[in-house]
Amino acid sequence: MKPIIVSGIKPSGVLHIGNYLGMIKQSVDLQESGKYSCLYFVADYHSLTTGYKPEEKSAEVMGIITDLLAAGLDPKKSILFVQSHILEHANLAWIFNTLTSMGQLERMVEYKEKVAEGQVPNAGLFDYPVLMAADILLYKARKVPVGEDQRQHLELARDIARTFNKKFGETFPEPEGVFTKALRVMSLSDPKKKMSKTMPAGCLYLTDSPKKIAEKIGAAVTDSQKEVGYDPKNRPGISNLVNIYAEFSDDTPAAVVKKFQGASYKEFKGAAAELVSEKLREIQERKSEIEKNKKEIMRIVGEGAESVRPVAQKTLAEVKNKIGLV
């Protein structure tokens, strides 16, 4: 039996290339590897921790589903569902809350970063990692695709599994990380900061037109040197563009630098804009076709929920029995 791999993505507005390279592209690669039983979900409960308009939330959820399908997730090879359609996620998270200390959550770096960025420090944002642990352990997943910025959350999930097993008997495997090879995609306008919707000028959205992509990459911050190079510490701007080109071309940064040896920044930026535009055009065209059939989209996530629900119900029933609930 293939090991189960679980990953989720929040529906919080239009996706940018950092979201695509950091989660979606990696998810498609894992799907195509044939090594895992892949469960991918739209993390709509997680998205409620930030400000939103109720009338826009359903559109965001549908938008993420179509983005995932357009980017290559295949419902014949992976299971795609919506988090809130499986009530056991929240139920298990509550039980895990009783095993998680305040100190563990207070140490979470991402929580501190989000509060520093101006997000309201509500209880859901604080408790976010516990729900994430429930997302993973509900399916007894052995593998979780994560970037370096999620390593701390994965460790908490492992701690919760260990604590539960010690207190109530062996139940959960301690999930291992499948650390994605994609580096953090940084803002085009401030390469020392992660690409974010809060800085739209430096953000390449999956919906951007070729003209807009060319404008943003053309205006991207580089440095005073003239040769394309890769030195993230000392030359973050041009290194970020090299990394973007490398990810979209499935190449290495070293190979990209070699390819553009002797080229001017203008020439390299033009080539990068052309490459990104072509890749996003393919996704945009597929999305345009997919979103015409809302009934089919709902059928896919409905069947996905039906596939995972028995697993979730079985796990929660086992947990309730072991902790003494009737």
Q: What is the pLDDT of residues 279-319, one digit of tens each?
A: 999 999 999 999 999 999 999 999 999 999 999 999 999 99
Span 131-146, average pLDDT: 94
Name the active-site residue from 57, 197, 259, 322: 197
Residue holding tokens 């109530």?
Answer: 168
More confident residue, 298 or 113: 298
More confident residue, 48 or 145: 48
Q: Distance of CA 265 to CAs 190, 203, 204, 224, 237, Å?
A: 17, 19, 19, 10, 11
CATH superfamily of 200-288: Tyrosyl-Transfer RNA Synthetase (1.10.240.10)
Name the active-site residue from 114, 140, 269, 279: 114
Q: Would you state the structure tokens that stand for residue 2, as one six-digit string?
A: 């293939």
Span 56-83, average pLDDT: 95
SS (H, E, C) 118-140: CCCCCHHHHHHHHHHHHHHHCCC
Query: Whole-angstrom distance between the N-terminal and C-terminal Cα of the chain?
Result: 32
Span 132-141, average pLDDT: 97
Q: Range(s) for CATH 3.40.50.620 in the chain?
A: 4-184+294-323
Query: Per residue in 207-248, pLDDT tens?
Result: 999 999 999 999 999 999 989 999 999 999 999 999 999 999
| Cα atoms in the 13 Å half-sphere on the side-chain side of 33 | 14
Active site residue 114: yes
Q: Would you state the structure tokens that stand for residue 126, as one six-digit string?
A: 């604080």
pTM of the entire predicted model: 0.90
Q: Distance of CA 18 to CAs 23, 159, 293, 320, Å?
A: 8, 29, 27, 39
Span 259-285, average pLDDT: 97
pLDDT value of position 191: 94
CATH superfamily of 4-184+294-323: HUPs (3.40.50.620)
Residue 85 to residue 305: CA distance in whole angstroms: 7
Q: Evaluate whether 245 touches 275 at the Cβ level (below 8 Å).
A: yes
Q: Which range is most confident: 146-160, 181-195, 262-276?
A: 262-276
Task: Please determine, for residue 21, whether its predicted confidence score (pLDDT) is greater than 80.
Answer: yes
Active site residue 279: no
318 burial type by CB count under 10 A (0-12 exposed, 13-18 middle, 19+ buried): middle
Span 128-146, average pLDDT: 94
Task: With CA atoms as reference, report the closest residue to 154 among 172, 173, 132.
Answer: 132
Name the active-site residue from 194, 259, 320, 322: 194
Q: Which band of pLDDT confidence, cut at 50, 70 and 90, is reported for residue 112?
A: confident
pLDDT value of position 320: 98
Q: Which band of pLDDT confidence, cut at 50, 70 and 90, is reported for residue 145?
A: confident
Query: 3-class SS at 107?
Result: coil
pLDDT value of position 182: 62
pLDDT value of position 181: 66
Mode of pairing for the β-strands spanning 37-42 and 78-82: parallel
Q: Which DSSP state fits 78? A: E
pLDDT value of position 210: 97
Q: Evaluate whether 313 touches 90 at the Cβ level (below 8 Å).
A: no
Query: 3-class SS at 178?
Result: strand
Active site residue 167: no
Q: Which band of pLDDT confidence, cut at 50, 70 and 90, is reported for residue 180?
A: low
Q: Range(s) for CATH 1.10.240.10 in the chain?
A: 200-288
pLDDT value of position 197: 83
pLDDT value of position 92: 98
Q: What is the mean pLDDT of the chain?
A: 93
